[in-house]
Amino acid sequence: MRYFLELSYNGTPYHGWQRQPNAISVQEVLEQALSTLLRIKVVVVGAGRTDTGVHAKQIMAHFDYENRLESEELKYKLNAILPAQIAVYKLSRVRDDAHARFDAISRSYEYYVTMLKNPFKINASYYVKKPLDIVAMNEAAKLLLNYTNFKCFSKSKTDVKTYNCTITNASWEIENDQMIFKISANRFLRNMVRAIVGTLIEIGEHKLNKEDLIHIIKSEDRSQAGYSVPAHGLYLTAVEYPQIIYSI
């Protein structure tokens, strides 16, 4: 039987989602906890491979187990042994061919920029000292929806079959002393969101303009785009799936 787990994590102490040979990851910690509870070796497949320091408000992962599991009971036991930085919210039985990564039809991220120095947000948002023009940043962000090839924002030497992504939303909002960038797409390239945010911040600082953004996208050249903002301001916030995977 295949199960989906819905969970969240604070990525500060972890070297990303994916299991690493010489560093602790969220996947490894979750697999150890499930293996301990179920008394068999459990392999977990996540919806995405977040980088070191990136957080997840919601991420889905699947694993296989031969017997029926009670959602509330497993959730309670898992949360009892998982570290404080990882929380499980829901267990769902899904179709046996459902896949947490490949069946996802939409992913959403948020990036937090703080305009006020705050020692309590050191690992939770990116502190920018200069004032930013949010109107210019939003005008530029809208242009992202007109394109599909985002090679210019992809990490170099990434082994992917296509650089095409369909962005359905990209916008900035102000919340108290923070600016939040929200973006949704069917898929994302490695480092894509952080590179987009860095480029938009340079537009907000009037170092670049929206015409420059068009040139950057058309260039398909990572060196033309802005810098990558730090990982600790980035949050995976939602992963969506077709309802059919829950039809069992």
Q: How many CB atoms lie within 10 A of CB 205?
A: 16
Is residue 155 classed as helix, strand or coil in its secondary structure? coil
Measured between alpha carbons, how far is 65 from 52 in angstroms, rounded to an integer?
Answer: 29
Tens of pLDDT, residue by residue over 34-44, are 999 999 999 99
Contact in structure between 111 and 194 (CB atoms under 8 Å): yes
The pTM assigned to this predicted structure is 0.94
Question: What confidence category does residue 156 fall into, taking pLDDT thresholds of 50, 70 and 90?
Answer: confident
Q: How far apart are CA 134 and CA 171, in angstroms?
A: 10
Segment 169-193 mean pLDDT: 96
Cα separation, 107 vs 193, whole angstroms: 12
Three-class DSSP category at 196: helix
Nearest to 99 by CA among 238, 4, 237, 225: 4
Is the pLDDT confidence value at 248 over 90? no
Catalytic residues: 51
At 34, which helix (H) or strand (E)? helix 26-38
> Residue 157: pLDDT above 80?
no
Give 113's pLDDT tier (boundaries 50, 70, 90): very high
Q: Is the pLDDT of residue 158 over 80?
A: no
Say what the pLDDT of residue 49 is: 87
Q: Which residues contact 159 (CB under 8 A, 6 or more apart)?
A: none
Q: Residue 119 is which amino acid? A: P
